[in-house]
């Protein structure tokens, strides 16, 4: 009912999309607001490009015949408002037929189909010519079709892959299906709630993808820990309902703690003071909150209803594998270096992670654009040919001016002078004369000045800086004039500069939160400080991997992308916040188990060994699910999602393997009793309720409360000490 209600309310309210003109920062943000205040009537524009099949010089007569044919066909379409005169390219290799559609830009993608059909028919009818269409509607439609197919494929792969991993973990089909069912219901619910929230904070197009990624990861993760603990208690002889009760008190308690930490960490993105980050934070917070809610309500109710049927039907070989008894041989072997030579292991493992992090020192940030898209996409290749023949149709700087209506004549004269000044400069495109637009109230004027360089070329940035210097000079004599230069290049430069300014606030907030949360949970400043340092280390190493993969060309063939020599500018900050939140899951589960062993009287070395060995199986399973889901995003065409998937997968893998197997146990072994400073593990007069697991069993977490030895809770039989050789208590 909750899922249905969320879907109904979200569908009824609709989604309030983030307006790109209203969401910018710095000067480009001001330019967008000036343009928006002009209330211009935006007509969707299409361009029919005619070139030679061979790519060489164009047969002008044949091209003109094709242009007349296209014009006649287009004029008969109800979706077409007007067709302009054909425009020849300066290099003689192309002819452009401009077409203005009816309706508005927002609906152009859904109405451009008949125009594309005309262009395709003309292409088939005129041999020796290549006829393509590029414009507001056709470009969005081409990219949406490609990206939509990407995500449909990702969804088709991610769910079966997650089910397969969970089958190996649980050995039973229903047990494997429950986490996936919960995760999918969380994603669907969060989509509806996100639509409602968009009327308070407008939603960027990437939110639904982030909700899918985060929802599948945390939804499966939380369920997996809960299910493993419930199964572990049943194996120890507890009744079904008692096992659920214990799982709720332990795993359920820590899911709430971990989920709350992720939510507050994601809230750090609001400190970036940027609309895109606010939207991503809102979507992430909603899906994590729904996942926590489902894990502590629907999941135990479902387990209570299913009873023993949760372990049906069993997969014979896998079931025997998951139910085997005896201690795992692999984890003690892997932990041996950290326990026997902790200082050496610490130096080597930290050194390896720092080497991985080195490339991050050379990280270059840039907003994704046309030049980052795969050239395998037809609309991208067509756009390349259009901008090659008509550079002013490619990278454009938007000059916006707002002044009193009485100064309109002076503003227009100043902009004409600006256009004339640009004509003699090689930094700007000269194939078409820029057109000055005036709002109906004559208060706002805009002009698009093109540059022949793609956004990633330093010359494009240089041309933007030159223009920003010229515009105030041109308007010196216009009183009360407000001006700004926007466009894709300006937005990217301003966004990156804004992030560099706000990043210390966001990072400081997340670090302080992590430290405070760990100090409260474990009553130890040493544990809190080590959690912050280890998370910083794994984040730095993952950033190094990200730079090494995407700023260079060696992985282009492997991951199917064209390197722009940069990392997407919004990614490092978002990745940092997500990683700190998700890493807390593992850290809380593992360190809790170690502390529990210490509270029961085990030595530091035995506590570290038993805590990690007994939680390793379920932590590894959760990490494998996360890495699998994130890796699928690395197969998408959009470079920002490709980088997001690879960055998250690398970080989780490093965190679960290097940090948890080598760095954490070596650090805790080396610190000895100082791990629990200043609280220590004795002298409280109370001890943690025993929640020991059989070897190879599930993760254990802090019990919801401490209990005196004489009054154990119902059904909680005292377990043998985790330390070998200790008498049963």
Tell me the pLDDT tens digit for each residue of 146-186. Answer: 777 777 777 778 788 888 888 888 888 888 888 988 999 99
pLDDT for the residue 681? 58
Q: Does CATH place domain 1-20+171-325 in 1.10.10.10?
A: no
Cα separation, 692 vs 700, in Å, equals 7
Q: Is the pLDDT of residue 70 over 50?
A: yes
Which two three-digit tokens encode residue 490? 């300006």
User: What is the pairing mode between strands 365-366 and 567-568?
Assistant: parallel
Asked if residues 334 and 661 have their Cβ atoms less than 8 Å apart, the reply is yes
Asked if residues 244 and 307 have their Cβ atoms less than 8 Å apart, the reply is no
pLDDT for the residue 327? 57
124, 126, 67, 121: which is closest to 99 by C-alpha? 67
431, 422, 502: which is closest to 468 by C-alpha? 422
Q: Based on the number of CB atoms within 10 Å of its own CB, is 341 exposed (0-12), middle (13-18) or buried (19 or more)?
A: middle
Which two three-digit tokens encode residue 290? 């729904």
84, 249, 365, 185: which is closest to 701 by C-alpha? 249
Q: Is the pLDDT of residue 189 over 90?
A: yes
Which two three-digit tokens encode residue 517? 């949360």
pLDDT for the residue 347? 93
Asked if residues 447 and 483 have their Cβ atoms less than 8 Å apart, the reply is no
Cis ω before 678 (30° cut-off from 0): yes
Domain ranges, ordered by start, for the chain? 1-20+171-325, 43-142, 387-492
Gyration radius (Cα) of the chain, Å: 30
Looking at domain 43-142, which CATH architecture does it have? 2-Layer Sandwich (3.30)
Mean of the pLDDT values across residues 200-227?
84
Cα separation, 368 vs 566, in Å, equals 9
Bigger pLDDT: 588 or 248? 248
Cα separation, 350 vs 448, in Å, equals 51
pLDDT class of 713 with cuts at 50, 70, 90: very low
Cα separation, 646 vs 545, in Å, equals 9
* CATH code for the part of the protein at 387-492: 3.30.70.100
Least confident of 282-291, 395-404, 441-450, 558-567: 558-567
Question: Which of 238-242, 463-467, 592-596, 680-684 is most confident?
Answer: 463-467
Enclosing H/E stretch for 129: strand 129-135
Which two three-digit tokens encode residue 274? 């940027």
Q: Is the pLDDT of residue 711 over 50?
A: no
pLDDT for the residue 614? 77
pLDDT class of 328 with cuts at 50, 70, 90: low
Question: Which of 6-20, 460-474, 585-599 is most confident?
Answer: 460-474
* Cα 615 off chain centre by: 28
Query: Is this model's pTM higher than 0.75 or not?
Result: yes
Cα separation, 407 vs 441, in Å, equals 12
Using the CB atoms, write b or e for 612-625: b if 16+ within 10 Å: bbbbbbbbbbbbbb
Fold match flag (1-20+171-325 vs 387-492): no
């Amino acid at each position: 009912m909750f899922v249905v209600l969320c879907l109904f309310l979200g569908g009824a309210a609709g989604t309030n999309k983030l307006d790109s003109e209203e969401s910018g920062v710095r000067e480009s943000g001001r330019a967008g607001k000036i343009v928006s205040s002009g209330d211009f009537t935006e007509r969707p524009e299409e361009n029919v490009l005619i070139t030679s099949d061979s790519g060489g010089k164009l047969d002008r007569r044949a091209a003109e015949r094709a242009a007349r044919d296209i014009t006649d066909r287009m004029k008969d379409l109800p979706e077409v408002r007007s067709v302009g005169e054909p425009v020849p390219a300066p290099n003689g290799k192309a002819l452009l037929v401009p077409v203005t559609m009816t309706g508005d830009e927002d609906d152009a993608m859904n109405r451009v189909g008949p125009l594309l059909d005309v262009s395709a028919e003309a292409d088939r009818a005129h041999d020796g010519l290549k006829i393509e269409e590029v414009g507001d509607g056709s470009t969005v439609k081409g990219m949406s079709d490609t990206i939509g197919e990407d995500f449909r494929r990702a969804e088709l792969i991610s769910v079966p892959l997650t089910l397969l991993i969970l089958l190996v973990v649980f050995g039973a089909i229903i047990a494997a299906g429950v986490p996936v069912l919960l995760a999918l219901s969380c994603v669907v619910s969060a989509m509806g709630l996100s639509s409602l929230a968009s009327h308070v904070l407008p939603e960027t197009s990437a939110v639904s993808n982030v909700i899918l990624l985060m929802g599948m990861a945390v939804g499966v993760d939380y369920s997996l820990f809960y299910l493993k603990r419930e199964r572990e208690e049943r194996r120890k002889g507890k009744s079904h309902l008692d096992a659920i009760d214990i799982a709720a008190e332990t795993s359920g308690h820590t899911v709430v703690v971990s989920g709350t930490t992720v939510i507050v960490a994601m809230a750090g993105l609001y400190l970036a003071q940027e609309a895109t980050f606010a939207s991503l934070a809102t979507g992430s917070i909603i899906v994590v909150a729904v996942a926590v809610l489902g894990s502590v309500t629907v999941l135990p109710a479902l387990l209570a209803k299913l009873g023993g049927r949760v372990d049906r039907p069993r997969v014979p070989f896998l079931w025997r594998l998951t139910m085997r008894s005896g201690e795992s041989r692999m984890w003690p072997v892997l932990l041996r270096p950290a326990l026997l030579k902790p200082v050496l292991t610490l130096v080597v493992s930290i050194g390896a992670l720092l080497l991985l992090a080195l490339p991050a020192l050379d990280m270059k940030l840039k907003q994704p654009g046309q030049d980052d898209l795969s050239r395998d996409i037809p609309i991208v290749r067509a756009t390349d040919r259009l901008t090659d023949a008509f550079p002013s149709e490619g990278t454009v700087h938007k000059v916006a001016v707002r002044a009193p209506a009485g100064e309109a004549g002076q503003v227009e004269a100043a902009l004409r002078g600006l256009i004339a000044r640009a004509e003699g400069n090689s930094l700007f495109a000269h194939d078409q004369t820029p057109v000055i637009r005036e709002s109906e109230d004559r208060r706002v004027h805009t002009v698009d000045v093109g540059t022949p360089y793609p956004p990633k070329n330093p010359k494009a940035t240089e041309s933007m800086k030159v223009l920003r210097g010229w515009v105030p000079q041109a308007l010196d004599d216009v009183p009360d004039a407000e001006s700004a230069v926007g466009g894709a290049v300006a937005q990217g430069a301003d966004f990156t500069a804004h992030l560099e300014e706000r990043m210390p606030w966001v990072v400081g907030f997340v670090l302080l939160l992590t430290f405070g949360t760990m100090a409260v949970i474990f009553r130890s400043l040493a544990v809190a400080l080590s959690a912050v340092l280890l998370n910083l280390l794994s984040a730095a190493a993952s950033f190094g991997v990200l730079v090494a993969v995407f700023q260079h060309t060696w992985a282009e063939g492997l991951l199917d992308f064209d390197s722009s020599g940069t990392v997407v500018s919004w990614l490092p900050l978002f990745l940092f916040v997500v990683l700190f939140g998700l890493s807390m899951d593992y850290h809380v589960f593992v360190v809790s188990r170690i502390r529990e062993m210490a509270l029961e009287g085990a030595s530091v070395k035995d506590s570290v060994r038993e805590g990690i060995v007994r939680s390793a199986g379920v932590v590894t399973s959760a990490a494998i699910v996360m890495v699998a889901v994130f890796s699928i995003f690395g197969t998408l065409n959009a470079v920002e999602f490709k980088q997001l998937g690879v960055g998250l997968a690398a970080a989780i893998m490093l965190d679960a393997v290097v940090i948890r197997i080598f760095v954490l146990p070596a650090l805790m072994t080396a610190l000895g009793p100082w791990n629990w400073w200043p609280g220590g593990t004795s002298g409280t007069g109370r001890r943690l309720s025993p929640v020991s697991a059989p070897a190879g069993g599930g993760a254990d977490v802090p019990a919801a409360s401490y209990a005196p030895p004489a009054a154990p809770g119902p059904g909680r039989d005292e377990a043998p000490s985790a330390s070998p050789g200790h008498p049963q208590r």
